[in-house]
Amino acid sequence: MTTTKELLERAKKAKACIYTLTEEKKNAALAGMAEALTENAEEILAANLLDLEAAKDRISPVMLDRLRLTPERIASMAQGIREVAALPDPVGRVLDRRIRPNGLTIEKRAVPIGVIAIIYESRPNVTSDAAALALKSGNVCILRGGKEAFRSARAIVKALKTGIERAGLDPDLVGLVEDTTRESANELMHANGYVDLLIPRGGASLIRACVENATVPCIQTGQGICHIFADETADPGMALDIIENAKTSRPSVCNACEVLLVHEALAPSFLLLLKKRLVDDRIAAGKMPVSFRLDPKAAEIVEGEKAGENDFDTEFLDYILAVRVVKDVREAVAHIAAHSTAHSEAILTRSEENAAFFTASVDSAAVYVNASTRFTDGGEFGLGCEMGISTQKLHARGPMGLNELTTYRYIITGNGQIR
């Protein structure tokens, strides 16, 4: 077994080559990775079967489904790598260039970050996605997946390394942590001098642990208590469509809506329509109905469970919607400032003034006017892909695509200038 310490040393060694990697080399490695995944599909599926066997009584059916690989899923992972290869190279972009009065040329150029460690859950496809994004952006990656998917991840990384080596690059550009205990996550959090960026992708407790303990730079991702505010002038039909979509199209994801704020002038009529759409119509259509958590004013208007103490601070990730009636857009903005995780929020309105005030005042990564919060996603934003969705303010905010996996360097060229 490779220890995490050894893995970190190897990653540091592999880093020496990244700053001079050409686009061609990187794309050749990505092509090799995709090819090797397909070639080694049987071995990967066999490892995955062992993971599924070991996990079957210990995790939920939903989790088991996420863990399961099929020939089609492996083909789609390979296709994902090819799509990343086809994206523009984020490295080498000239972000700014100026010639100073003293003749110095100052160029601000995008460069890789270095070694990126990613802690994630038991989804085998994240292993190849993350490796592809890291490699395309010129970074070394250290992957630390969930223990339920370890055998699958090991088989996948073995194949990826074969592909990288075939392209003549250092297979240590991608590394897998073999220790799946908490200790290895802890080692990554404190690997100063080895890890240039730590990206925790997972539940609230993992992210909190990283924020509180990590001494290496860390980007928080993916917690979303997303709000929709239906203003007095909202189009009710559009509002119903957007709210149903944001709440029910995929309740388990971070860009799903958890809290609805309704203008008090709209609430009396709208909440009844909302109950019909989210509860009655869905039951009639054989779909999962939404369960409300109502603040006192909303409870006066519509049937449903009353909100408990924490319901406006909970990422339900379920068919549950907290509902509060507010006086106006200012109260909506104040509520969001107090309760949001700064992921995605939307205003539904026909008032340009309120839309402008909302988008200026709500300090979240993505602020929507008359659209579903579900669009906060690298692909939907046109970034081509994403490593995660940052909910912090430094470095990157919202979907992190390839550009967000780079930093920059000033390169200054002179002919003897002194100060």
Q: Which is nearer to a second copy, 160 or 173 (CB)?
A: 173
CA atoms in the 13 A half-sphere facing the CB of 44: 27
Closest distance of CB 374 from a second copy, Å: 4
Closest distance of CB 394 from a second copy, Å: 4
* DSSP-based three-state secondary structure for 109: strand
Please enumerate in sequence order all residues whose Cβ is within 8 A of that of 30, keeping only pairs 6 or more positions apart, or say none. 81, 82, 84, 85, 132, 135, 136, 163
Q: Which is nearer to a second copy, 149 or 342 (CB)?
A: 342
- Angstrom distance (rounded) from CA 30 to CA 167: 9
What the block records as the tokens of 41 is 């599909």
Closest distance of CB 348 from a second copy, Å: 9
Closest distance of CB 113 from a second copy, Å: 6
Going by the DSSP 8-state scheme, the letter that residue 288 receives in this structure is: P
- Angstrom distance (rounded) from CA 329 to CA 313: 20
What the block records as the tokens of 111 is 């460069």
Closest distance of CB 88 from a second copy, Å: 14
Q: Which is nearer to a second copy, 177 or 242 (CB)?
A: 242
Q: Which is nearer to a second copy, 61 or 382 (CB)?
A: 382
Name the residue type at position 83. Answer: E
Strand ordering across the sheet containing 140-144: 174-176, 140-144, 115-119, 197-200
Closest distance of CB 310 from a second copy, Å: 16
- Angstrom distance (rounded) from CA 114 to CA 102: 33
Q: Which is nearer to a second copy, 74 or 218 (CB)?
A: 218
Phi then psi dihedrals of residue 217, to 5 deg:
-60, 140
What the block records as the tokens of 295 is 């603040």
Query: By C-alpha distance, which of 94, 160, 106 is closest to 133?
Result: 160
Closest distance of CB 111 from a second copy, Å: 7
Instruction: Report H helices in 56-123.
Output: 61-67, 71-86
Q: Which is nearer to a second copy, 114 or 175 (CB)?
A: 114
Query: Interface with a second copy by CB under 8 A: which residues?
Result: 16, 19-20, 98, 100, 104, 106, 111, 113-114, 192, 196-197, 211-212, 215, 217, 219, 235, 238, 241-242, 245-246, 249, 334, 337, 355, 357, 359-361, 363-372, 374-376, 380-382, 392-395, 397-398, 407-419
Q: Which is nearer to a second copy, 227 or 374 (CB)?
A: 374
